[in-house]
Chain A
């Protein structure tokens, strides 16, 4: 079908940041994840854990806790502030200082009225959650040591606080301590070390469960303040605890990288007296687990190894499907690389800087499967550091390679590049239009004459670029619908159309000549993960998080026949079972029937002229086809041509010269750059 020259790039040293906190909202089925670099992400647990929202972090942020209050998300960190996020526009809404020194934990009560934070100075501070802000209410009795962990009783009348060497139970009404329970220190040399109660969970029946640095999970009675039972889970720390909604299952994350499950079951069959029994151990992490959350059908855990692991609880799953498989999320579901297709440049987006690279050149020819001689090595042209503390949210390089733009939460910067033989000079475009203060997504038109900047209220600002500078042209606004932030933009090759997708799954298509909404693609239940406009037919090809695809003819304003055929016949089982979303849609101008897609594990070319595979067809058939003689291939091939040559793919782009750029980030390389685990389980230790 075709040969491709592939630039395999492995020098993008992207390092995912470790996971510090998890908070699950059962009503909206959203999992909020806080990372060590201060970024907060929102995953949709019932939409294949697609990463819907990313709020970039900032330096010295140090988030320690996350908490949902209703649909509002709060975080608190070592900088002493409590932050509320604007999830619609994916940015920080405001930050309130708690005046208690670094905050170790934050938790909201079930009633949604109050937030409690545990501070370094030994106070538990209560904040009232108002309509638009939070208001400090009062302190509970101040303790001598820092408050590490907090848990509200479901009634909201009591709070359990984990501290150094002890657990305190506070009456919220009076603010006084009701009980003080001492956690035992370890034996031997660790006797002199304080026992840190890393996590507490307050159950509605009055049981308090704690996880501590001695490796114990302990159960306490809040009436008497006595220890009921203790389980030795590990030799090192139990860092995180999470209880299921109906309080019959508890998971504990340890610094060995294991998740231990406890279940509240009756020990004798048919008897009613139940006990907490240790049941299962999951080992999916190499490093400390800093946060766990038990959602309805799975245990979600995250830690220093920066991967979010969704481990399904098979006893709670009725139908086994792709959605119930073990899922490990390593990379963000966003493009971190953009390519200047016409000039062979790549822009790598790191959290604090950008790197611009020129691709290498090859010489001669080679047989498929082999490497070409590299005549010129790839070259790093630019290292652009971000001003200020905010991390980069999005960035883009123009197709011609002359413009670079990036945006943080607070600012947007546009640069113009000058290539003078081998010298690269860069000029910052000053006096940007005021509307370009910040962007959720950035995109250039294919002739590099326009910059599209996705802004608040699902609007897209249109800026024309010229030698002299840039000029604000207008704003594209959807007629109605949601105001969620746009996370994807796609411009047509002829400069006529622009498509935008927001996190409410809405895809609007704008006519750039009239600057009006041309049409809206019918909203599908799953999130849009990638889209692209075909250069010749002007059909919008959309990939969804549940691996469905559709092709929408912009001019006809309807799904294409091929798209309807796909919907009617359904996709192959193996295609639907893939567990990473497609992140880019490309078209081969030489062969209009081809659509190129990629996810983390594969590169796929869909040949729309070929028959679709049904469930009886061999789906991954490249090896079979390779072994067949040419004349027989035709009869055996189907529309999906999948190459598994590459692994851990971050980004794929088809350049103007028909060569593919595949940016890989091997997970082994990531693993080697992670800090050493604090405690590693070795055989027989």
Chain B
């Protein structure tokens, strides 16, 4: 989940001279991550230390001069760069009080912007589309600048991206309603022109945001109809730009629109899944569009939102975990945090898979655990005053995880869970688990089972938060952890379910019995197997539908002279108690048939037969002891059992039909299905008479007079 924290005002926004959507010229990264450089649309540049909310320095140009592009900080030379009056490039140091005292050079063409990224030479982008490195330009300011763009083509947006010591300048242009994107790469210098390919009828994109991920540039652009498109460009291109290339794009988010037409709005990419959008209405807050929202583009869900007072501009910046939003007469800084999202977290709830509110045992314990953490939290809060050292931050913990021994790590994780507040823990649990898993994967001897269990019991983990955990546990054959995970996680992929199933079925029972498992599930298995022996003593009470099966059985196989209960043919549990308990957890898992089927095919035939035998055992047991209620919290329901039988038969039908050892099994199941069909056919016959009963109840109202016949018995 993404979170927007409480923001604060960094500075005021000067009076807006024009009606454009620009409140300030720009906010640029300052000399380190805590510093920003704000260039307002009048005549001044101010540096701020963001965490202190304090200006560190302010510079302004003389009357009559105009700052024509946002000031940037050249981290290589520790100098500020700004362009005034379109052509005068000014460079000054931090301790220069007056801009006029700094270096000044007049260039031969209008400069659009100076673009800078950390640890790179700033790049100067001219209005005509030409690009120069700053130092080469300043070396000979009056060098001729070529015209890249045609005469009436105007640059609307520009940005610079750096990855692997490679710089890319992007700028988009507009020419008679046609929008193009230019990608300028350096060394070798190439310029590729792309045409935006969007649905016809869309006006100009109102906001762009580009990030670099892997070896691709991801460009997001927002239209005023609320569509957010994404285009992916290769970072390095082999082809030199010949002609105009079409820019393929995909719609990644459709923002809800209010009734009014949107004129201003901005989007900025936060990470691969999250986008911050300002100026669009909150989907549930009516037409008011003064909201800053964080959307998850993967799940199309709104993750966090904050109302912004005053006018919204088409401007939004994001530097080092903080959003800079000019609105009304102020520039607000809003820190945010984007946790890696899973579907379960994105949906905002952890679905409990077990049906009919049968809350699992561990669920209850985790509640009590929460209580303990809350009380200890208070205690620890008091103790932290005296002893600040004892509480670790997440980052510290992760550092420890990377290096410490298993025991230390387990102790520290336990300590961390106890001392961290619920909200923080929710964010931190996934990170810690990820780190633990990655260490375990690297280091074969490192396997902090205790820590995993503790993290799991916080209930802040789910499969997608830490995908490696379950696979790791399966590899390590940590069945206890797996069982807990299958109880708690609601989003286990079918492939993993099958892998787990395979592991369970291939592990010998003897080895399994040694494993320490959730007591409740084992008790259930014990009851089940004992119930079987007890019902045998009672002579096997039959359900109503057993009788026809019995008759048909006798007629079909006359050799079977013994009037045996067909259900008690093979009533001993085909698997051990522990294996049964683990299989029960698998039966509880949510799945979709289509995704599960291909993976089920991976099971070997003996595995399938054992599993089917167990399912048959369960099913017979259930239909046999339907009148009995085994008191356990997580019992597989009869429909779950039947679903799994069907799935297994579907996936291995041909093999089972051929395999001689499966013949008896399939025959039994078939017989059972036949008896069930008979039962339902009988039930269907009753329906008619029930209908008559219902109709007779309805003919009550007859008006004022009727002659009826009654019968008394």
- A residues near B (Cβ < 8 Å) are 1-11, 360-362, 366-372, 374, 377-378, 605, 622, 625-626, 633, 637, 641, 643, 645, 659
Contacts and interface: CB of A to CB of B under 8 A. Distances in A.
A5 B709 contact: yes
A622 B705 contact: no
15 contacts: A1-B711, A3-B711, A4-B709, A6-B707, A6-B709, A7-B707, A9-B705, A10-B705, A366-B708, A366-B709, A369-B711, A372-B706, A374-B705, A374-B707, A659-B707
A669 B451 CA distance: 74
Given A9-B704, A367-B709, A371-B702, 19 more contacts: A1-B711, A3-B711, A5-B709, A6-B709, A6-B710, A7-B705, A8-B702, A8-B707, A10-B704, A11-B705, A368-B711, A371-B699, A371-B708, A372-B707, A372-B708, A374-B706, A626-B711, A626-B713, A645-B710
A4 B708 CA distance: 8
B558 interface: no
A157 B704 CA distance: 58
Contacts of B706: 7-8, 371-372, 374
B703 interface: yes
B712 interface: yes
Contact of B707 (A2, A360, A369): A360
B440 to A, nearest CB: 62
B696 interface: yes
B705 A368 contact: no
B704 to A, nearest CB: 5
B703, B704, B706, B707 — which one has the most chain A CB atoms within 10 A of its CB? B707
Interface in B138-160: none
A399 to B, nearest CB: 21
Interface of B: 696, 699, 702-713
Contacts of A643: 710, 712
Nearest to A13: B704
Chain A to chain B: the 4 pairs with minimum beta-carbon distance, closest first: A368-B711, A625-B713, A362-B707, A641-B712
A371 B704 CA distance: 13
B709 A370 contact: yes
A253 B660 CA distance: 86
Contacts of B704: 9-11
A367 B712 CA distance: 13
Nearest to B702: A371
A3 B705 contact: no
A369 B696 contact: yes
B705 A370 contact: no
A6 B708 CA distance: 5
A2 B712 contact: yes
Contacts, number: 81
Contacts of B710: 3-4, 6, 368-369, 643, 645
B705 A4 contact: no
A348 to B, nearest CB: 13
Contacts of A377: 705
Contacts of B707: 5-8, 360-362, 371-372, 374, 659
Contacts of A10: 703-705
Contacts of B708: 5-6, 8, 366, 369-372
A10 B702 CA distance: 10
Nearest to A372: B707
Nearest to A594: B712
A11 B702 CA distance: 12
A622 B712 CA distance: 7
Nearest to A641: B712
B699 to A, nearest CB: 7
B705 A8 contact: yes
B709 A622 contact: no
A24 to B, nearest CB: 39
A364 to B, nearest CB: 10
Nearest to A8: B706
Residue of B696, B699, B705, B709 most packed against chain A (CB within 10 A) = B709
Contacts of A659: 707
A7 B712 CA distance: 16
A299 B705 CA distance: 38
B711 to A, nearest CB: 3
B705 A2 contact: no
B160 to A, nearest CB: 65
A1 B713 contact: yes
Contact of B709 (A1, A368, A625, A626): A368
Contacts of A5: 707-709
A377 B696 CA distance: 24
B705 A360 contact: yes
A622 B696 CA distance: 16
A129 B693 CA distance: 66
B712 A369 contact: no
Nearest to A604: B712
B705 A378 contact: yes
Contacts of B702: 8, 371
Nearest to B712: A641
Contacts of A374: 705-707
Contacts of B709: 3-6, 366-372
A582 to B, nearest CB: 17
A635 to B, nearest CB: 12
Nearest to A607: B712
Contacts of A637: 713
Contacts of A622: 712-713
Given A11-B704, A371-B702, A4 B712 contact: yes
Contacts of A9: 704-705
A9 B705 CA distance: 5
Q: Which of B708, B710, B711, B712 has the most CB of A within 10 A?
A: B712
B711 A641 contact: no
B701 to A, nearest CB: 10
Nearest to A621: B713
A377 B706 CA distance: 9
Contacts of B711: 1-4, 368-369, 626
A479 B336 CA distance: 108
A368 B710 CA distance: 5
Contacts of A2: 711-712
Contacts of B696: 369
A519 B704 CA distance: 44
Nearest to A363: B707
Contacts of A361: 707
A457 to B, nearest CB: 42
A377 B704 CA distance: 10
A367 B695 CA distance: 14
B699 A370 contact: yes
Contacts of B713: 1, 622, 625-626, 633, 637, 641
A664 B423 CA distance: 70
Nearest to A366: B709
Nearest to A7: B707
A455 to B, nearest CB: 37
Contacts of B699: 370-371
Nearest to B696: A369
